[in-house]
Structure 1
């Protein structure tokens, strides 16, 4: 068990392998627990670092624990990389973690060598996706009204389907339920996908993220995620896109991701990537 103190909180993290730094950023609700198998595989391709974001599972929450803002999580990721002398890194973000990864690359470009975005939750980039996210926020709050402990379960059921929740082992359901306070804090905070004022990035903002980027979509995800990815593939300067089987919880160590990481490890300059198609 390893911990590092950054920005007033203690973050739990795990580190495996050596070489090219790889940072895994989990979604909401979630934990590095769900990245354990992927981290073992990623460690064969570089120095893999996964962590529980502030307030989630084994990392400490802020005090008071009433709200959390996107900027805090971005600052935590940057500080974690700095504390571990691990930048610039290939940053792999899943769902809300992808939102954090994008902002990390925009605000701290020196910390990021490349991005892997597994259906990032930047819903404001597409009108239909933004409407879906607003409805999701409302449904989740209604479902968990008076029962805040159900927030994490409600998010998973609404975003990934009832079957995804029912398939979880009892221990993971308990872990997810324990993150409900963090889910509520994000909803009450600023900039997150389910916040009242979700992050909006302009075309100029996105064009300024000049890092090789792999964008991954899943065949069985809801249309909002695919719409976001389609918009991002046209807005970010250096992208390659792939579609994989399954649903929203995409494997961070999918062969397409491993191939991308190996390509990044084998080049020193993002300029070797052609603009737009990433080939």
Structure 2
């Protein structure tokens, strides 16, 4: 346990376990570093595992200014954690917001990322509905500021992508939202307004994504409607990517199906480290 320092002085809390090739875990908006516990306990048997709380999520710092919550701040924060730990490059395992940051590292600092797991990636990317998505982000930010985290957690816990988790595991779902209710309301509001509502759509980065050589495993729940199309898009445009769809699953993939998630990620990383996860063979592509 400790703190790394971001480029702008924000302190980022992290925990680590195990030894070996490093894995960096990047959490989603509604989660924090603690939601990777099923993965840390599993992968620490063979890897050096690091999970950190993003800026705005205690015990990391919660900057007051909304101007320091952009997607650039978030992906460079991941690099700051690696720098603090003296790690040149790591396998990145992201969920949702964490997947977007992982992709940005692959786009902007490819030498720092050995591979990336992009789980629950791409919500809010639809160009047709982008204005509405950003308006909803602003409205949710206002809810955090006016109602607080406890009441906002009650409002958001039955979002469509969260229902499969509720159906499968009511106890786990309740624990997840009890944790969200303890999040810093100002940090959540700033993250929702700055990162979630301000990040570019992945559909505006097609040319750059096509040049990414980083091995990628894209994981999507088949009932996570907002992420199905973006996941397919990334599979079609990331040269060294594979796509896995979890049946009867929503957004919180690492907690909904921890055994399946761990198995998929473990196999992926083993193949990457063996040099057996390359770009798609052109002979497999339709003319």
TM-score (norm 1): 0.84
> Which residue of 1 is the match for residue 54 of structure 2?
53
Is the CA contact (8 Å cut-off) linking 2:162 and 2:251 kept in structure 1?
no
Partners of 1:138 and 1:63 lie apart in 2 by 17
Is the CA contact (8 Å cut-off) linking 2:221 and 2:253 kept in structure 1?
yes
Q: Relative to structure 2, which stretch is displaced further, 226-235 or 134-143?
A: 134-143
Partners of 1:46 and 1:143 lie apart in 2 by 39
> Which residue of 2 is the match for residue 36 of structure 1?
37
What SS does the aligned partner of 2:83 have? helix
Is the CA contact (8 Å cut-off) linking 2:144 and 2:152 kept in structure 1?
yes
Q: In the TM superposition, what is the alpha-carbon distance from 1:273 to its structure 2 partner?
A: 4.0
Q: Which of these residues, 249, 257, 270, is aligned with residue 262 of structure 1?
A: 270
Q: In the TM superposition, what is the alpha-carbon distance from 1:12 to its structure 2 partner?
A: 1.3
Partners of 2:182 and 2:66 lie apart in 1 by 14
Q: In the TM superposition, what is the alpha-carbon distance from 1:213 to its structure 2 partner?
A: 0.5
Matched ranges for 1:16-95 at <5 A: 16-64=17-65, 68-95=69-96
Matched ranges for 1:128-277 at <5 A: 130=130, 133-134=133-134, 136-137=136-137, 140=140, 146-149=146-149, 150-158=151-159, 160-161=161-162, 164=165, 167-168=171-172, 172-179=176-183, 180-189=185-194, 192=195, 194-195=196-197, 197-200=198-201, 201-221=204-224, 223-245=225-247, 246-251=249-254, 253-267=261-275, 272-275=278-281
Summarize the Cα distance change of 1:249–1:163 in structure 2 as closer, same or farther, 3 Å threshold.
closer
Size of the aligned set, in residue pairs, is: 270
> Which residue of 2 is the match for residue 113 of structure 1?
114
TM-score (norm 2): 0.81
Summarize the Cα distance change of 1:104–1:92 in structure 2 as closer, same or farther, 3 Å threshold.
same
> Which residue of 1 is the match for residue 103 of structure 2?
102
Partners of 1:62 and 1:143 lie apart in 2 by 19
Give the number of the structure whose residues are more often helix, by fraction: 2
